[in-house]
Amino acid sequence: MIISLVVAYDLNLGIGWNGALPWRLPSDQKRFKKLTMGHHIVMGRKTWEAIGRPLPGRQSIIITHQSDFRAAEALVASSLAQAVRLAAQHGETECFVIGGGQIYAQALPFAGRVYATVVQSNGSADAFFPRLQPADWQETECRYIAEPGDQFAYYYKIIDRIKPPQEF
């Protein structure tokens, strides 16, 4: 099973502000839905709470250290390794990590692919995506997108790991 990170970040690698996305990009949300539909999505508890509901057609796995945490229609794991095992036990072929910053940092060594939306903005952020090491990653696709209704133009990139990722 491949572990993929799905992220939208600004020009400073900012991914969030006060628990929310700092931009509105409906065209990217449609791409996110199409990409993750039918798959397991792994996120931290704060990201789950920011979304506020299960995303239809996907199985959410929430990582939290709160042993009594429960979420309707979602699986709960105490670690990234446990979350990935849960996805594998359910026959997942590509597990998508969708945030937040701490979860991205934990998952990066194990990821084989990054689906990145690079928002053309230098806005305020208090959560960040970890910097990719150029020697470890290769951009395999890049498209510039400027759609009506999107707050900012952006680049959509697929970035693949050059060497095999770490294993749990």
97: domain CATH number?
A: 3.40.430.10
What is the number of residues in the chain?
Answer: 168
Residue 144 has what pLDDT?
98
C-alpha span between 63 and 28 (Å, rounded): 24
Extract the runs of DSSP E, i.e. beta strands, from the chain: 2-9, 14-16, 40-44, 59-63, 74-77, 94-97, 113-119, 127-128, 137-145, 154-161
Answer yes or no: is 167 within a domain: no
Residue 102 has what pLDDT?
97
Answer yes or no: is 140 within a domain: yes
User: What tokens were used for 27?
Assistant: 């065209």
Q: What's the CA angle centered on 95, arms 85 and 137, to 5 degrees?
A: 115
Residue 72 has what pLDDT?
87
Residue 157 has what pLDDT?
98
Task: Say whether pLDDT at 92 is over 90.
Answer: yes
Answer yes or no: is 166 within a domain: no
| DSSP-derived 3-state class of residue 144 | strand
Full domain range(s) for residue 31: 2-161
Average pLDDT, the chain: 97
Answer yes or no: is 111 within a domain: yes
Answer yes or no: is 53 within a domain: yes
Asked if omega into 100 is within 30° of 0 (cis), the reply is: yes
Torsion angle defined by CA atoms of residues 125, 129, 133 and 136, in that order, rounded to the nearest 10 degrees: -160
Average confidence (pLDDT) over 88-98: 97
Residue 168 has what pLDDT?
87
Task: Say whether pLDDT at 154 is over 90.
Answer: yes
| DSSP-derived 3-state class of residue 120 | coil
Q: Domain count for the chain, please give it.
A: 1
The DSSP symbol for 129 reads: P
The model's pLDDT over 16-59, given as tens digits with 9 standing for 90+, comes to 999 999 999 999 999 999 999 999 999 999 999 999 999 999 99
Euclidean distance between the first and the last CA atom of the chain, given in angstroms as a whole number: 12
Residue 123 has what pLDDT?
84
Task: Say whether pLDDT at 65 is over 90.
Answer: yes
| DSSP-derived 3-state class of residue 96 | strand
Answer yes or no: is 168 within a domain: no
Residue 12 has what pLDDT?
97
